[in-house]
């Protein structure tokens, strides 16, 4: 009886963590785009001196980067699951990531200033379309690699049923045949595609871009250890930008054979 109650508790915990993530994901769109439904957005009237606001924002982004990267490393997971049920590990990671973002959104400080402002209606529509495509690409990429496993729901569901967790096979569906990291490409589009680039937005875009590039190196190191076939995949498929009119190594090898 206690075991089943524990499984139910872990499952409900995983569902709650996912719902918090999903609400945070939706709020992120409003935050970055300064949409009316978001109480606090990226831009606004500065409330603090420039350097104080800059320092707070850099600290908030740094906290998220450290949490997001450290908790994703296999060594941390091995240590962490000594204290929490393995089935809840991914949900806990998702929850902590969401809380780090909520902290960032709550204490973010506008800097003021304007880098560019596209006044042409067509130009603004194009930027808006790229921005929307970026968010769609992010979500679509998670679906391709199993959205429910990525955000912990598959783990807690299998645990509820009393079934062992099995790692996903290495696959390259859809957009993963064009670039190795379509999810990160989507984030780049989300953060840089804006008709009005403020100093605040530029800081956010630059620091998150630096973090993404660093995260890719860490993630690919883990993938090479977990999936030996990833080495060939990395040689054949570009990291972020699809090849245009080019030929990949795999195609050349097939023709040579």
Query: Would you state the pLDDT for residue 255?
Result: 34
Q: What is the pLDDT of residue 1?
A: 60
Look at residue 245 in the predicted model and tell me its pLDDT.
65
pTM of the model: 0.87
Model confidence at 244, in pLDDT bands (50, 70, 90)?
confident
Per-residue confidence (pLDDT) for residue 254, from 0 to 100: 39
CA distance 190 to 21: 18
pLDDT of residue 167: 87
How high is the pLDDT of residue 252? 45
**Span 84-93, mean pLDDT?**
94
With a CB cutoff of 8 Å and minimum separation 6, the contacts of 94 are 17, 18, 20, 21, 151, 152
* Domain boundaries, given as residue ranges, for the chain: 2-237
In tens, the pLDDT along 44-65 reads: 899 999 999 999 999 999 999 9
For the stretch 180-219, pLDDT in tens is 999 999 999 999 999 999 999 999 999 999 999 999 999 9
**Own/partner long-range contacts of 96-101 (Cβ < 8 Å, ≥24 apart):** 96/67, 96/71, 97/21, 97/64, 97/67, 97/68, 97/71, 98/17, 98/20, 98/21, 98/24, 99/20, 100/63, 100/64, 100/67, 100/68, 101/24, 101/28, 101/64
Q: Give the angle 131-64-105 at the CA atoms, nearest 5°.
A: 60
Task: Report which of 78, 101, 99, 100 is spatially closest to residue 89, judged by C-alpha positions.
Answer: 78
In which element (H, E) is residue 114 found? strand 114-117
Assess whether pLDDT exceeds 80 at residue 239. Answer: yes
pLDDT of residue 251: 47
pLDDT of residue 2: 63
18-22, 38-42, 120-124, 242-246: least confidently modelled range: 242-246
For residue 257, what pLDDT is reported?
A: 32
CA-based nearest residue to 64, from 36, 34, 102: 102
User: What mean pLDDT comes out for the span 82-98?
Assistant: 94
pLDDT band (50, 70, 90) for residue 253: very low
* Tokens found for residue 40: 């606090």
- Are β-strands 196-198 and 114-117 bridged in parallel, bridged antiparallel, or unpaired? antiparallel
Q: Kindly report the average pLDDT of the chain as a whole number.
A: 91
Average confidence (pLDDT) over 121-139 = 95
């Amino acid at each position: 009886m206690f075991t089943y109650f524990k499984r139910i508790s872990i499952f409900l915990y995983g569902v709650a963590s996912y719902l918090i993530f999903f609400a945070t994901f939706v709020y992120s769109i409003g935050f970055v785009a300064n949409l009316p439904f978001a109480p606090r957005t990226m831009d606004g009237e500065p409330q603090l001196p420039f350097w104080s606001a800059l320092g707070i924002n850099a600290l908030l982004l740094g906290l998220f980067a450290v949490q997001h990267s450290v908790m994703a490393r296999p060594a941390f997971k091995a240590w962490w699951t000594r204290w929490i049920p393995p089935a809840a590990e991914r949900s806990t990671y998702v929850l902590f990531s969401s809380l780090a973002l909520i902290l960032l959104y709550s204490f973010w400080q506008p800097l003021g200033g304007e880098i560019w402002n596209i006044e042409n209606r067509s130009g603004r529509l194009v930027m808006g379309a790229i921005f929307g495509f970026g968010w769609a690409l992010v979500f679509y990429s998670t679906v391709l690699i199993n959205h429910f496993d990525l955000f912990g729901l598959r783990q807690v569901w299998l645990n509820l049923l009393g079934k062992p967790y099995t790692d996903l096979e290495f696959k390259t569906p859809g957009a993963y045949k064009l670039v190795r990291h379509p999810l990160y490409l989507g984030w780049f589009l989300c953060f840089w595609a804006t008709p009005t680039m403020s100093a605040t937005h530029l800081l956010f875009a630059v620091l998150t871009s630096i973090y993404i590039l660093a995260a890719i190196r860490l993630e690919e190191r883990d993938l090479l250890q977990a999936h030996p076939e990833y080495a060939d995949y990395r040689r054949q498929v570009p990291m972020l930008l699809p090849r245009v009119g080019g030929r990949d190594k795999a195609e050349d090898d097939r023709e040579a054979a």
